Structure 1
Amino acid sequence: MPENPVLDPKRIPRHVAIIMDGNGRWAKQRNLPRIMGHKVGTESVKDVVKTARELNLEVLTLYAFSTENWKRPAIEVKGLMTLLKTYLKAEVQNMVENDISLRCIGEIEKLQTDVQKIVTRVIRETAPKREMKPSLTLNLALSYGSRSEIVRAARIMAEKCVSGQFDPEDYSEQLFASHLYTGGLPDPDLLIRTGGEARLSNFLLWQLSYAELYITETMWPDFKGESFIDAIRDYQSRERRFGQTSEQLQAE
C-alpha cells in the first residue's frame, strides 16, 4: 500500500470500470513495437486486480477489446489474443485461490475458437461454488460495444414480448438492465480512463449513467495498484448527489 492517507473502508465503490488506454502510445514513446505496450499492460492488469481484491471491491470491469478493435492490423489483433490466452492460463489458479470469479461481456462468439475455449474454461473453473458470492467478480469486456449490447437487449425483450413472456406495460429500466450483459451486477460507481483521452469509447453507455469519471494522463502500462488507490481516493472526495442537493443529502 502507498504512503498516503488511508481510504475510508465504508466508501469503497462496489463496482469500478476501467478503460485501459495508452498501451500503443507508451510503446511508441520508447521506440518499441505496439504489442510490447500491451504486454507490459498485462502486468498492470495483474496489479490492479490484486489491489481491487485487497480493497474488497465487488466488481472490476476491464475494457480489454472493443468491437472497433477488430479494425486494427491483423498482426496486432493476433498478438492481443495471444496475450489474453497467456494471461488467463497464468492467472486461473491465482483467481481460484483468491476467490476471483471471471465473467466476460461482449460478442464472445466472434473470438477465435481457441480463445473461446480458454475463456469458457476459466469462467467455469472460477465460478462461485454452491451459488456463493465471489469476493471479486472480474468482468473482461471482449469484442464489446455498448451500442450493440443495447440493441441486443432490446431485441431479446421484443422477442419475449411477442412470445407472451411479458407485456409492453411491464417494461422498466430494471427489466431492461437485466437483459444487458451486466445483468445482476451493480452499475459502476467509478469509471477510470488512463491515457488522458476524455471520451467513453462505446463502453457501458447505459450502466455509466451515474458513475463518477476519473481521467488520468498516466498510460495503462504505468498504472499500478497505487494509481488505482489514488483514483479511489479521488472518488471518496466527491459528493454523489444523484439529482439531489447537498442539503438534501445532509438531511438524510
Structure 2
Amino acid sequence: MKTVLITGATRGIGKEIARQLAEKGLFVYIGSRNIEKGIEVENQFKNQGVSNIKAIEIDVTNPGTILSAKEQIEAEQGKLDILINNAGILGGVPQKASDTPVDAIREVFDTNFFGVISVTQTFLDLLRKSDSPRISNITSGLGSLTLHSDPGWPYYDVKGTSYVPSKTALNAYTVVLAYELKDTPFKVNAIDPGYTATDFNNHSGHLSPENAAAFIIKHTLTSEDAPTGKFFSNDIKDESEQSPW
C-alpha cells in the first residue's frame, strides 16, 4: 500500500484529496497543525467507513513538528511514496505593494514557500525509499508572472504582495527541485487546482473541492514516463497546453 502525507488536510481541498486517495486504497496521513482537529477529521472519515487514514501533527512553520512527523511515518511505514504540499495561507487583504508590512509578507512566505522547502527537505530521504516518489506542490494560477502581465486574463486585477509572489516563488522552487531530481524516479510538479469554492476564498470559487482534488490526484498518481518540473492548472481546459509560468 502506498503512503501519502498531505499538509493542511483538515478542510477544503486538502481534506477532499485525503478522502479520494484513501478511497483509492492509499494510506493517508492527514497533516494538521492542530492534532485535535486532525483527529476529529480522522474520526469523521472512519465513521464513514474510511479506515486507511490517520491524523498527524505537522506545522510547516515549526521544524520540530516536521521532524516528529517524519520520524513517526518512518517508524510506522518505513517510507513515504507521495508528499502533497497543500498547506497555505492567504494573508490579510488588501495586499498593496506600496504599504503591506514586511512582517505580513514574511508570515505568508513562511507557510507557502519556506514551509514547503522545510517539509520537502525533511522528507526527501523517506521519499527516496519509494519506487515511484511523487512531490506535488499545490500552487495557484495567481503565481504566474505571464498571466499577471496579460490585461486580458480574467484575474488580471487580482494582485497581491504576499500570496501572489509566494506562489511564484513556489513555482520556481518546483522547477529547480525537479531539475535536481530529474535522473531519479521522482516526479515533482506544481499543480493549480483552479478557483475552488472553499473557506480560503469565502466559497467564491466556481470549482468544487471534489473537482479540484481529482485534478490534483490525476497529476500526482502518474506513470514512470510522466513529465516532471511542470505547472498544471485546472483553469486551462486544453491539457495539451503548458500552463504559463
> What's the TM-score once normalised by structure 1's chain length?
0.38
> What's the TM-score once normalised by structure 2's chain length?
0.39
* More helix per residue: 1
Flag the structure with larger Rg: 1
